[in-house]
């Protein structure tokens, strides 16, 4: 039997966890430690996509025998995501970033959401920031609350370092849009996934991550860039920014 989104109806869908990584030797160990503790027991496979790193990212992955290493020579987050998509075998493809720390109960929410909702195409949720102070964390996290009206208006909202999507839906979408370099790639995923089912943004589906980009580039600037690109994808179907800065 097949659900409305094209996912096989099984007692529990299989889940592939995919982690794109570019020069992440400093952050990836904590991410994989959290994955081993909180995710590995329910994941069919764990894949790290090395996006042409020049540091010790591969050596970090080699310290975790159960983690599968794949290499994508074309730099860019959408290309790394696509490489993971092609390498993975699960019914559900879950994506986190290399500077995240998946918490206890995170993958259980994935299992429950897709196991009980036939119409669910994609699940995402907000970040919390483990390396920002209390007030800065609260201010940064407030963006996800402020964006709720846009979510209600459009029916889609996504966070690229914290989402899970039905493989069959991603196949119908033609995979990830590799013409998008960075900004707006998550909004594009949500917009296109909505054509094939429900895109659920759950405030309970929280992912701890690093606030390093906001520390370096400033919260106001980053919030503005994300808002502009959300609107640009919504109206024009493409982002307004093609350039971005690697923050490591």
Closest CA relative to residue 157, chosen from 171, 166, 167, 147: 147
pLDDT of residue 155: 87
Q: Decide which of 221 and 122 is more confident.
A: 122
Q: Is residue 203 part of a domain?
A: yes
Q: Decide which of 235 and 64 is more confident.
A: 64
pLDDT of residue 130: 93
Does position 153 have pLDDT exceeding 90, yes or no?
no
Q: Is residue 123 part of a domain?
A: yes
Mean pLDDT of 36-53: 98
* Tokens, residue 90: 């699960």
pTM flag (> 0.85): yes
**Listed range (28-32, 71-75, 126-130, 183-187) with the worst mean pLDDT:** 183-187
**Listed range (45-49, 100-104, 185-189) with the worst mean pLDDT:** 185-189
pLDDT of residue 234: 72
pLDDT of residue 182: 72
Residue range of the domain that includes 51: 15-236
pLDDT of residue 220: 65
CATH number at residue 26: 3.90.550.10
Q: Decide which of 156 and 208 is more confident.
A: 208
Q: Is residue 9 part of a domain?
A: no
If one counts the domains in the chain, the total is 1
* Tokens, residue 15: 């889940």
Which tens digit of pLDDT belongs to each residue from 20-38?
999 999 999 999 999 999 9
pLDDT of residue 157: 87
* Tokens, residue 94: 């879950």
pLDDT category at 133 given cuts 50, 70, 90 is: confident
Mean pLDDT of 225-233: 71
Closest CA relative to residue 28, chosen from 13, 7, 50: 50
183 CB-near residues (< 8 Å, 6+ apart): 225, 226, 229, 239, 240, 241, 244
Q: Is residue 127 part of a domain?
A: yes
Mean pLDDT of 80-92: 98
pLDDT of residue 206: 95
**Listed range (68-77, 148-157, 223-232) with the worst mean pLDDT:** 223-232
pLDDT of residue 108: 97
Q: Is residue 67 part of a domain?
A: yes
pLDDT of residue 11: 67
pLDDT of residue 1: 59
Tell the residue number behind the tokens 């309970």, with chain if given.
204
Contact 96, 161 (CB under 8 A): yes
Count CB-CB contacts under 10 A for residue 203.
10
Q: Is residue 222 part of a domain?
A: yes
Q: Is residue 93 part of a domain?
A: yes
Q: Is residue 229 part of a domain?
A: yes
């Amino acid at each position: 039997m097949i659900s409305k989104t094209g996912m096989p109806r099984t007692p529990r869908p299989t889940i592939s966890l995919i982690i794109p990584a570019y020069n992440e030797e400093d952050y990836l160990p904590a991410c994989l430690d959290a994955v081993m503790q909180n995710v590995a027991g329910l994941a069919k496979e764990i894949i790290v996509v090395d996006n042409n790193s020049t540091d010790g990212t591969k050596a970090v992955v080699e310290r975790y025998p159960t983690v599968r290493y794949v290499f994508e020579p074309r730099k860019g987050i959408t290309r790394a995501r696509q490489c993971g998509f092609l390498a993975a075998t699960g019914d559900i493809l879950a994506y986190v970033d290399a500077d995240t720390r998946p918490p206890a109960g995170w993958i259980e929410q994935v299992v429950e959401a897709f196991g009980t909702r036939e119409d669910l195409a994609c699940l995402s949720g907000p970040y919390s920031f483990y390396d920002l102070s209390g007030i800065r964390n609260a201010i940064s996290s407030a963006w996800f609350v402020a964006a709720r009206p846009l979510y209600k208006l459009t029916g889609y909202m996504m966070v690229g370092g914290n989402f899970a999507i039905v493989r069959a839906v991603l196949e119908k979408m033609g995979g990830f849009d590799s013409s998008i370099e960075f900004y707006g790639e998550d909004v594009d995923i949500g917009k296109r996934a909505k054509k094939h089912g429900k895109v659920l943004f759950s405030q309970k589906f929280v992912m701890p991550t690093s606030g390093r980009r906001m520390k370096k580039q400033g919260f106001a600037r980053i919030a503005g860039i994300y808002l502009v690109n959300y609107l640009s994808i919504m109206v024009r179907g493409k982002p307004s920014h093609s350039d971005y800065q690697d923050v490591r």
